[in-house]
Amino acid sequence: MTREYSLIPAENFIVLAHKTRWQILQLIAQEGQMYAKQIALELNLSESKVHYHLNLLRNAGLIISQGEKKVNRGKVKLFGLLAQNFTFSIKQNALLQKTSVFNEIMRDKYCLNEIFIGKIIVGAAEPHGKFDALSRDGYLAGDICWYLGSHLPIQQIPYSPFFVMTDSNYRMKSPQITDNLILIGGPITNILTEYLNSHLKQKFGVYFLENRIIAQNKEFAEPSHGIISIIRENEKWVLILAGVRSLGTQAAVHAIITDSYHLLVKDAEFITVIKGKSSNGKEISEVEKIMIQRAETNIKGN
């Protein structure tokens, strides 16, 4: 039976540095199970070459033998994917880090029995919302998925195809917040962030206006300014990773995936105003704290 997820050592992925092996994996994923002669006919290759590539994929833990099938007067060996999704990490598994963002924030709020319960919401890539804006931050959902995958054990349960959704699709599904959410993008590009903007103002006195953040009666309008905030809405947790511009959103996501736990407050609703540092104006290399505030006690710090 094909698993939903499998964690593969990074060094095993070297076998995928070959076009033919990618094609073989794609064929098997599409068909479910295949045997060598089928693959050879599809790719116009010799059967011996296909067996060579299949052995490499199997040794790397990407495919497995799934029994035999009668073909004509003989039997052939069937191959299937070990898992529908693979995760690999070039860093040490952060489960060992007690002070990781995952352990400080997500384990208790977003996980049940080591299973992530929630959705990641990105802005739609077509004009939408009151600003008629389109989002270019969707790729950051992949970084968050990688981060979660590097901290969670292999999942053996059916996986929701709606784990990552656009803001438009989520709002069509339900006008209210009905799930634990991770929101990626500011109020211009993510209509759920816009929806919760007034809640931030009520809880922290921090909120977005168009192309700027207002905090402690100061304006923060640089492209790399952003916020990291977690609040309760309808008994669900909502983590907001949003920037004045896309660079600020990237900074917020960068802080999560690099385990910048000093920017967070454990076991509380909080908001942190941040500034990302970039040497080329395109990629964030570091994130600094401007202000951090806890909702319950209204504490502010620098």
- Show the 3-state SS of the chain: CCEEEEECCHHHHHHHCCHHHHHHHHHHHHHCCECHHHHHHHHCCCHHHHHHHHHHHHHCCCEEEEEEEEECCEEEEEEEECEEEEECCCCCCHHHCCCCHHHHHHHHHHEECCEECCEEEECCCCCECCCCECCCCCCHHHHHHHHHHHHCCCCCCCCCCCCEEEHHHHHHHCCCCCCCEEEECCCCCCHHHHHHHHHHHHHHCCEEECCEEEECCEEECCCCEEEEEEEEECCEEEEEEEECCHHHHHHHHHHHHCCCHHHCCCCCCEEEEEEEECCCCCCCCEEEEEEEEECCCCCEEC
pLDDT at residue number 69: 87
- Position 297 scores a pLDDT of 46
pLDDT of residue 155: 57
Using only C-alpha atoms, what is the Rg of the chain?
Answer: 23
- Looking at residue 214, its pLDDT comes to 95
Residue 197, pLDDT score: 94
Q: Which CATH class is domain 3-86?
A: mainly alpha
Looking at per-residue pLDDT, the higher value among 204 and 9 belongs to 204
Q: What is the mean pLDDT of residues 141-165?
A: 76
Predicted local distance difference test score (pLDDT) of residue 299: 41
Residue 23 has pLDDT above 90, yes or no: yes
Q: How confident is the model at residue 141 (pLDDT cuts 50, 70, 90)?
A: very high
Q: What residues does CATH 1.10.10.10 cover in the chain?
A: 3-86
Range with the poorest average pLDDT among 93-102, 116-125, 160-169, 196-205:
93-102
Do residues 82 and 3 make contact, with C-beta atoms less than 8 angstroms apart? yes
d(CA 95, CA 89): 12
Token pair belonging to 151: 């901290």
Which pLDDT belongs to residue 84? 72
Confidence of residue 42 (pLDDT cuts 50, 70, 90): very high
For residue 8, pLDDT beyond 80 = no
pLDDT-derived band of residue 94, with 50, 70 and 90 as boundaries? very low
pLDDT per residue over 63-92, tens digit each?
Answer: 988 888 888 878 899 999 887 777 665 554
Q: Is the pLDDT of residue 289 over 90?
A: yes
